[in-house]
Each structure stands twice: as structure tokens, then as C-alpha cells.
Chain A
Amino acid sequence: MSVENKVKEYILENYLFTDDMSALGDDDSFIEKGIIDSTGILEVIFFLEEAFGLAVEDDEMIPENFDSVNNIAAFVSKKTAS
């Protein structure tokens, strides 16, 4: 499964309580759309660390890295490539 789909599935299941993939756009801002609050972002980070074997550094915890499915996918790809 692609990174985008894995992330999207996680968000849909845990924050929107649906499996309807059209309920969330890949570029939708979680913060702006009120889908995920600040605790939720920390939960997402935890999920990524577990699911993709990453370690998120303190200075990487910026909204830009986590605020949409595409942002997260880009961040995960960058981390797993290095």
C-alpha cells in the first residue's frame, strides 16, 4: 500500500470514523478543516513513528510536515530515503 493510502486510511479510521476515501482530500489541511487538533497531530506523529519506523526530531515537528495527507507522505518519503 502506498504511503498516502496508509496515512489516509489511518486518518479516516481514527478521526473521521469512516472508510470512505472520498471523505478526505489529499491536500486538505487538517488544521484548517478542523479534522485533527493539536493532540491529534501528536497521535499522528506517534503512528508514523510506529508504522514507518521513523524517529521524528524535535525540529521536524512543524505543521508543514503533518498538515495534510500529501505533506505527511512527502515527509515520510524524505525520512525513509535518508
Chain B
Amino acid sequence: MDMLKIDEKAEVKKIADRLVDLLRSKLHRRGLVVGISGGIDSAVCTALCVEALGAKRVFGILMPEHDSSSQSVSYGQLVVDKYGLDHMVENIGPTLEAIGCYRWRDEAIRKIFPEYSDEWKCKIAIAGQKQGTINHFNLVVQSPSGEISEKRMGLKEYLQVVAATNYKQRIRKTVEYFHADRLNYAVVGTPNRVEYDQGFFVKNGDGSADVKPIAHLYKTQVYALARYLGLPEEICNSTPSTDTYSMPQGQDEFYYALPYEKMDIALWSYNHNVPAAELAVSLSTDEDHARFIYKDIEAKRAATRYHHMKPLLLEEVGIGS
């Protein structure tokens, strides 16, 4: 869609210049650390950091765990190899085991599916979106024989599963900050605009960073930059996934009301005060649905303000600017 078209060359230059400017004037660090997931957002961020500073000042970390798709490391390696980056592969599975991530999660799952075990797979899917009901979540499991079952999650189980899986994003960020401190680098956050806007990140997990180079870009624009920057075809063609659960889980399935191309259009339209009737035409849907989408955008912003909050002080503490 034309509304999302960007001048890729100009955008890359703008981002690269701004990264240098921020490192110099605000962050005062020697380089940038990027957690490379194999997905398109971290790949584009890596490319932009290299554009800004040169490959020598970018450190990449690949952090697979037990539930990661095999692609995440192989695609991540493609990115690292393309730029000849200094990097490490740190499997955080044992760390997550030790801290109880999988144990807490599986305990909650077994309250709903008592037969669930290590050989099973699972994911969470959002429900209630289209029908105008309150957003709630279903647990989907797959037995070793491939049989899929789905049940609505009680609130306690849902919160426990999310809290447990949040360990993944938080441990990864801890690893990134270790390397940043060790190298005197700054840490990159890789959310795109829709993720940032809609609070689709873990507080103090992937939501934590020193700089977020693509938080102003819609996903469609991130894909455009990926192609412009010559990132590997496999990465340019992948669809957004969370890579958090053992069953493949699309981000739209888990959280958004729409697939990403339509989510971009909806959010852009919302930000530009486009009437619901016009959005309906752009999305080839009816006006009721378009109005519901706008309401959902607002509801998710409101529900996730907490994710963006800095620590609250009880009274002002002046520390100078």
C-alpha cells in the first residue's frame, strides 16, 4: 500500500546517522550489541548498525533455547556471516531450566491438560477478537501423535504461562547487557512500530534497550529495508512469529487482530485519523469490523501502558539534565 512506501536509501542514511549521533552525544559507548533471533527485525537492526558503525563495532548474540525453531540459529548465522560479525551462540536452555521457566509453564499447562509432557508441544492463541468479546486466551496443545486440542485458559494458568515464558526474553536481555558491559557497547532493541505501539514486548525483556532503531517503522517498511539492504532471501520471506512456544505461533494468532500487512494499514490509518469507513475499504472488510479494529488498537495501548513505564518515584528527585 502506497501510504507505507518509504525512500529506503534515505531512511537507511537517516537511521545510520542518528545511531552515530546518539552513541556520541547520549550513550557514550563504543559499539552496539544485537540479539539476533533469525527474524527480520533483528536482521534489519544488525544491518543498520553495521551501516552506521561498520561491522567491527557490532557484536551479535544468538540465543536459542529448547523451544526455538531450528531456523532461528541457521537464519541468525546467515546474518552474522553476511557481515563477518564478531558473535557468540549462547544456548539459554539450561539457564531457563535452572530458573524454572519450563517447570512453571508446564505445571500451569497440566492444570488444563493433565496428560501434557515433554514430548508434547503447545502455544497460546488469542480468542474473542472477531466476535467483539473480551480478549481472552486459549491453550493449544499437540500430542506426540500429532493430535491437536484447544481449551480456554483460566486466568491463573494464563498468567503463569506468560510469566514463565517471559523468562526467555528477560534472560536474553540479561545476556545482551553482560556483553554490552564487557565491551562498553550499547544494547539494541529491535521492536518494529506495531510491536512498540501495541505493547507487544516483555517489560524488562525485549522491551528493554538503550536504543531502538526501527521502532518508528511499520513492519511492511522493515521488509522493504530488508530487501534494499540485501538481507538473505529466506529472512526477507519469513512471516512474523514469536518463536516462544514449541508449536509455531504467528504473532497475529497470539496477539494482533490482523496479519501484519493489514495491521500496518490499520495502525497507519488510526494514526492519521482515517475514518473507519475508509479503513474498511483498504482492508476489504465492513465498517463494523474496521471500528472494532480501531477500538482494539486503543484497548491494547491502554492495556500495555504498564510495559512502557519507567520506575515511578513517589516524589521528584532532581538529578540534573
Binding site for B on A (CB under 8 A): 34, 37-39, 41-43, 45-46, 58-63, 66
Q: A46-B155, A63-B134 are in contact. List 15 more A-B contacts (CB 8 A).
A: A37-B303, A38-B303, A39-B159, A42-B136, A42-B155, A43-B155, A46-B154, A58-B127, A58-B128, A58-B136, A59-B131, A59-B133, A61-B133, A61-B134, A61-B136
Instruction: Give Cα distance in the complex from A80 to B155, angstroms.
Output: 22
Task: Knowing A46-B156, A61-B134, A62-B134 are in contact, say whether A37-B302 is a contact too (CB < 8 A).
Answer: yes
Contacts of B303 in A (CB 8 A): 37-39
Contacts of A38 in B (CB 8 A): 134-135, 299, 303
Contacts of B135 in A (CB 8 A): 38
Distance in angstroms from B166 CB to nearest chain A CB is: 14
A-B contact pairs, 10 of them (CB 8 A): A38-B299, A41-B134, A42-B158, A43-B155, A46-B154, A46-B156, A58-B152, A59-B133, A61-B134, A62-B132
Instruction: Give Cα distance in the complex from A77 to B209, angstroms.
Output: 49
Contacts of A61 in B (CB 8 A): 128, 133-134, 136
Instruction: Give Cα distance in the complex from A38 to B193, angstroms.
Output: 22
Instruction: Give Cα distance in the complex from A41 to B98, angstroms.
Output: 34
**Size range of the chain B interface in the assembly:** 10 to 19
Binding site for A on B (CB under 8 A): 127-128, 131-136, 152, 154-156, 158-159, 299, 302-303
Task: Label chain B's interface by main secondary structure.
Answer: mixed
A58 touches B154 (CB 8 A): no
Contacts of B134 in A (CB 8 A): 38, 41-42, 45, 61-63, 66
Contacts of B132 in A (CB 8 A): 62
Contacts of B159 in A (CB 8 A): 39
Instruction: Give Cα distance in the complex from A46 to B134, angstroms.
Output: 13
Contacts of A45 in B (CB 8 A): 134, 155
Q: Across chains A and B, which 9 residue pairs bring their CB atoms closest together, nearest first?
A: A61-B133, A61-B134, A42-B155, A38-B303, A46-B155, A62-B133, A37-B303, A41-B134, A43-B155
B133 touches A58 (CB 8 A): yes
Contacts of B131 in A (CB 8 A): 59
Contacts of A34 in B (CB 8 A): 302
Distance in angstroms from A15 CB to nearest chain B CB is: 15
Instruction: Give Cα distance in the complex from A41 to B137, angstroms.
Output: 13
Instruction: Give Cα distance in the complex from A37 to B160, angstroms.
Output: 18
Distance in angstroms from B3 CB to nearest chain A CB is: 29
Instruction: Give Cα distance in the complex from A31 to B311, angstroms.
Output: 24
Contacts of A39 in B (CB 8 A): 155, 159, 303
Residue of chain B at shortest CB distance from A63: B134
